[in-house]
Structure 1
Amino acid sequence: MSGPTDEIGARTDTGRAEGFSDGVLAIVITLLVLELRVPEGEPGELLSGLVKQWPSYAAYVASYLYVAVIWLNHKATFSRVREADRGLHWANLLVLFSTALLPFPTSVLSRTLQEHDLPDQRVATVLYALVGVVVCISWLMLYHYLATHRELLVEGVAPGFFPSERLRALIGLVLYALGGLLGFLVNPLAGLAIFILLPPFYGLTSGGLYSTRLVPHRRAADD
């Protein structure tokens, strides 16, 4: 028989989850900047050395923007959440787990682009794309959980909001996969271009596709 204390801790406010998430994302951004290093070379070659490191700058910008946009989307998501249960905590931890992987493929991609080894560049592009796909899958799971657990949401959240957010995650999943495919079969720079363009899309829609009216609003009865 269930005791009266069985549900203690099953649901809590979102304060600790949001604070922990902010800390993790801050560490991830810090790790990204550590890949920007002073180039080695003879005296008088500093300028050329800095120019040769342009792939590091491009990879850093792409990943920094990505983490920044993840923070914006995380903030927008939890502003609509009233309380969290164990399932939501696990979904949130999965988002943080996938995001924390970003410094690794960023480092691999920037170094291989500087070494001008095409086969390695192709592999590095696919690696970055795979991590991007994993991040999108984690957001898809988070949005799906919130779409099916409306009792966790604050009052006034439209019934179609989180169902439509799943579409945003799917768009990213498809485009990261496409970037990896183009980077491997065509040119690594084609994949890098997609990686750089995706964060602005997620930044512009951080309030949600439903809020920006990029998806049709349905009646609550249809949701």
Structure 2
Amino acid sequence: MTKVRLEAFTDGVLAVAITLLVLDLHLEPGNGESLLDQVLASGPSFAAYVVSFFVIGVIWVNHHSIFGLATTVDRVLLFWNLILLMFVSAVPFTTATLAGAIAEGSAADTRVAAVLYGGVATGFAIAFTLVYGRIMLVLVRTGSMDAGTRRSALLRFGAGTLFYPLLTAIGIVYAPAMLVGFAALSVYYLFNQTGTTE
């Protein structure tokens, strides 16, 4: 399989996942409740949407950057990438579940929803780090980076494998704080943690 085909498939899956997020946002004009009241009541859904949109968006940007380093793809990389997409495609489901649980206010359901949301995030963080590690250690373009830069970038990039589980534990106690933490991690990954120049 060519690198272009893998990237095209990945772009398609990410585009569908990021689009599905908006389907859980609902307002009903003319139902007797003002739109402003509906927006305020739907605050958890809008907050979860924004955070998840940026999480997937940053994944897309970084995926482009790290695949710029690869000269080719191999079977191992294909499977790590497939696992990454499995977790990312579950983000709309976990986003809707978490937003609904926060809005309903059931402590037990919110804890379960936080574990689902955080578990998926931890899964894609691990899979993405494996994708990045495979490229950096085996498939990197010759002369694109020295060994020290590669190790440093891999450590920075892999930070999510530690912070997503930590934020999930926080989410079990207070789910909105977990969303704030995920937003902060997205900001961290907005800045180039890949060591690439693209």
Q: TM over 0.5, yes or no?
A: yes
The residue aligned with 1:166 is: 154
Aligned mates of 1:50, 1:78 — CA distance in 2? 39
Q: Which runs of 4+ in 1 moved over 6 A?
A: none
The residue aligned with 1:121 is: 110
The residue aligned with 1:87 is: 76
The residue aligned with 1:195 is: 182
Aligned mates of 1:66, 1:16 — CA distance in 2? 23
Does the 8 A contact of 1:95 with 1:138 survive in 2? yes
The CA deviation at 1:15 is 0.8
Matched, 1:148 2:137: yes
Closer, same or farther: CA 79–55 of 1 in aligned 2, 3 Å? same
What is the percent sequence identity of the aligned residues? 35
More helix by share: 2
Q: Deviation per CA, 1:32-71, whole angstroms, max 9, x where unpaired?
A: 1111112488424332112110101110011100010000
The residue aligned with 1:181 is: 169
Aligned-partner residue type, residue 40 of structure 2: V
The CA deviation at 1:165 is 3.7
- In structure 1, the gaps of 5 or more residues are 1-11, 213-223
Q: Deviation per CA, 1:135-172, whole angstroms, max 9, x where unpaired?
A: 111012112222331xx332322134443343234321
Aligned-partner residue type, residue 119 of structure 1: A
Aligned mates of 1:117, 1:40 — CA distance in 2? 27
Matched, 1:23 2:12: yes
The CA deviation at 1:96 is 1.3
Aligned-partner residue type, residue 52 of structure 1: A
Equivalences, count: 196
The residue aligned with 1:97 is: 86
The residue aligned with 2:56 is: 67
Closer, same or farther: CA 41–181 of 1 in aligned 2, 3 Å? farther
Closer, same or farther: CA 14–160 of 1 in aligned 2, 3 Å? farther
Aligned mates of 1:162, 1:139 — CA distance in 2? 15
Closer, same or farther: CA 175–107 of 1 in aligned 2, 3 Å? same
The CA deviation at 1:124 is 1.2
Aligned mates of 2:75, 2:179 — CA distance in 1? 37
The CA deviation at 1:98 is 1.5
Output the TM-score relative to the length of structure 1. 0.80
Output the TM-score relative to the length of structure 2. 0.90
- In structure 2, the gaps of 5 or more residues are none
The residue aligned with 1:55 is: 44
The CA deviation at 1:131 is 0.8
